[in-house]
Chain A
Amino acid sequence: MRAVRLSLPILFITISLIYLIMIFQLPPALLGDPYAPRYFPMIVAAGILVFAVIDLINVRTENVEDNEDLAALIKKDSLKVIGVILAFCVGYALIFEWVGFLAATLLFLGALMFYLNGYRRWVLNLTVTLIFSFSSWYIFSQLLEISLP
């Protein structure tokens, strides 16, 4: 579990290093101080790096075994549920502009409902999918005149 707990500070350290490299690759400003766009990000990168390293060191003394949420999260079943839901969400993002709001929403919401509630509750799944897909389309697209694909 400690290894999982280490993941976030390590992620932040990695991000800060990549961020630092990108800062040095920034083109100079054409007006005023050429390095002005770099100063603030450099302070930020240093801040992330310093505090992520301290956090990494602190993990050694942290009582990670008492963290029930972390223990629940790293169970295979939890990771599977989260992975599948995120995959549905990415799928929705991919097809949203391609097939249009209504079709994409019907597919996305339907998939989520059937995955979470099972096929036996198909009446509930279909009802919720149809009602919320059409009502959200009507409210946002027709009433609020928000342009949806």
Chain B
Amino acid sequence: MSIILDGLITALQPINLLLLLLGALLGTIVGILPGLGPATGIAVLIPLTFGMEPVSALILMAAIYYGALFGGSRSSILINTPGDGSSVAATFDGYPMTKNGQAGQAMSIAAIASLFGGIMAIFGFIFLAIPLADFALNFGPAEFVLLFLFALSIVVTLSVGNTIKGFLSMFVGLGIATIGVDLQSEVQRFTLGIPELIEGIDFIVVIIGIYAIGEVLYNLFNISQPKTTDHNIGRKLFTKEQWKRSLGPIVRSGPIGFILGALPGSGGTISSLFAYSAQRSLSKKPEEYGKGKVEGLVAPESANSASAVGALIPTLTMAIPGSGATAVMLGALIMIGVTPGPLLFEDSPDLVWTLINSMFIGNIILVTLNIALVGVLMKVLHTPPKVLYPVILLLSFIGVYTLGYSTIDFYILLIAGAVGLLMRVMNYPVVPLILALIVGGDLEQEFQRSMVIYDNAFGILFASPITIVLGILTLLSIVLPLISKWLKRRNRKKQPSQSM
């Protein structure tokens, strides 16, 4: 108990509080900018930590990390432009809420959802860090193959009524993920002789292309047409009724995000999409999702925030980063003299407990900051579209350039934008493509490793109890919606005949 109090006292030191505030603010700003997600945010701001005490450096990095997560959802909600994969799910119902004149409510409730998700995960971290780290060690190549397949299957089933297009979109995403050098054999694949493609296509470029460029192009061909939507921006804070509807999804999604976040390589994207899918599946009116339903916004936000804390478990206890951002953080930690690993909790309890306490305080600072910023951010919506869209295009180009310092990414961005526009107009779901692109590389590598170990696909399926459970869940996630659709159709056919 005294260790926890010591950690709290250290976290409350003025310098550490100042760093928390600075990290939260910088992280939020960086997260809002397209392309600059938590990983890039930490990488860009690492020089700020030089010369600091390890504990202060860790506090600053963690604050930038979850500040960027908060910030990422702001641009998703306001302009349908996710900063990175983990804030894609916030566009599904967040942006429609903005279009319905509820931008302020969306941003404020999303911030609260992130706070609760984060706090639930911090409790999870305190009590479950070691057991979860042990559980994560059970995940070998076969388990990851099945986990990724399960994630893909539930995301495809999100595209209700468009299952064929959902699968097509998923396979296209997997195809894009195969571009570049195969890490197992070092064979270069589908690079068309372009050296910049050897490392593959960065999924963030595709995300920004599909969402930001696609959105701008979509609006540009509607720009001269008379506006039918109400430009009333609405109140800044969420209503009591919205809060009541949100509580359940927030509480359910936090643990989902936390557990998935703790699995190395799983990350915020899978966590938030899982939470969204689970929330939609539990709903009695799933058809209302994607049209501005508050439950569809708070569920992924809570999970995303919880996953950020969960991702710190493998990073700190096993030195295995759980996400891109924690990979950067791991490198920075080693650089400043902290050695993550199983002994960190025993050797440096002061550091660990100060971090945990600072996460509590940081989350409260962030929610206050983000709610305070709602009014400022909502001014974006007052900007005339013919000014806003050129600026979004510019920010997208700059964001993409910062990822790889190559103009080849500009062309990929534009192709993704044009394809994203066509997919949107022709009702192809883009989320399966994005998730497939994000997990595709890891899925193939784990698949190749599994084939070496188990020799065939059945061997992978029956490798362990975890793979069997995940295999059954994958199958159910594909079959159940089809059965439910078939039953509904049959009932619809029966009803007229009964009435006759």
A contact residues vs B (CB 8 Å cutoff):
5, 7-9, 12, 15-16, 19, 22, 26-32, 36-37, 39-41, 44-45, 47-48, 51-52, 54-55, 58, 67, 69-70, 72-73, 75, 77-79, 81-82, 85-86, 89-90, 92-93, 96-97, 105, 108-109, 112-113, 116-117, 124, 128, 132, 136, 140, 144-148
Contacts and interface: CB of A to CB of B under 8 A. Distances in A.
Interface string B158-187: 000000110110111011001000101111
Nearest to A27: B187
Nearest to B445: A40
Contact of B222 (A7, A72, A97, A132): A72
B407 A97 contact: yes
Contacts of B174: 40, 44, 47
Nearest to B163: A51
A121 B423 CA distance: 34
B167 A47 contact: yes
Given A54-B164, A55-B164, A140 B394 contact: no
Nearest to A146: B402
Interface of B: 44, 47, 164-165, 167-168, 170-172, 174-175, 178, 182, 184-187, 189-190, 213, 216-218, 220-225, 386-387, 389-391, 393-395, 397-398, 401-402, 405, 407, 410-411, 414, 418, 421-428, 444, 447-448, 451-452
Contacts of B170: 47
Given A70-B425, A93-B407, A55 B165 contact: yes
A11 B391 CA distance: 31
A36 B407 CA distance: 32
B332 to A, nearest CB: 16
Given A82-B421, A132-B391, 15 more contacts: A40-B174, A40-B444, A40-B447, A41-B175, A48-B172, A51-B165, A67-B426, A82-B217, A85-B393, A89-B397, A96-B397, A113-B387, A136-B395, A145-B44, A148-B401
A92 B451 CA distance: 45
A27 to B, nearest CB: 6
A78 B182 CA distance: 41
A93 B414 contact: yes
A78 to B, nearest CB: 4
20 contacts: A12-B172, A29-B186, A32-B185, A36-B448, A39-B447, A39-B448, A40-B178, A47-B167, A48-B172, A48-B175, A51-B165, A52-B168, A55-B164, A112-B390, A116-B220, A116-B223, A117-B386, A136-B398, A140-B398, A148-B401
A89 B426 contact: no
A4 B286 CA distance: 30
Contacts of A81: 220-221, 223-224
Nearest to A73: B425
A116 B423 CA distance: 25
A145 B44 CA distance: 8
A49 to B, nearest CB: 9
A37 B184 contact: yes
B168 A41 contact: no
Contacts of A77: 221, 224
A55 B44 contact: no
Contact of A69 (B184, B395, B425): B425
User: Which of B220, B407, B421 counts the most chain A CB atoms within 10 A?
Assistant: B407
A85 B220 contact: yes
B184 A85 contact: no
A146 B220 contact: no
B231 to A, nearest CB: 18
Contact of A128 (B387, B410, B426): B387
Contact of A41 (B178, B394, B411, B451): B178
Given A54-B164, A96-B407, A82 B172 contact: no
B71 to A, nearest CB: 14
Nearest to A95: B407
B221 A78 contact: yes
Given A32-B185, A69-B424, A92-B397, A12 B168 contact: yes
A105 B223 CA distance: 23
Contacts of A45: 175
A-B pairs, top 5 by smallest CB distance, nearest first, are A29-B185, A78-B221, A47-B171, A93-B410, A51-B168
A117 B387 CA distance: 8
Contacts of A96: 397, 401, 407, 410
B193 to A, nearest CB: 12
Contacts of B426: 5, 8, 67, 70
A52 B172 CA distance: 10
Contacts of B410: 89, 92-93, 96
A116 B224 CA distance: 10
A31 B387 CA distance: 55
Contacts of A27: 187
A82 B221 contact: yes
B321 to A, nearest CB: 23
Contacts of A128: 387, 390-391
A29 B448 CA distance: 13
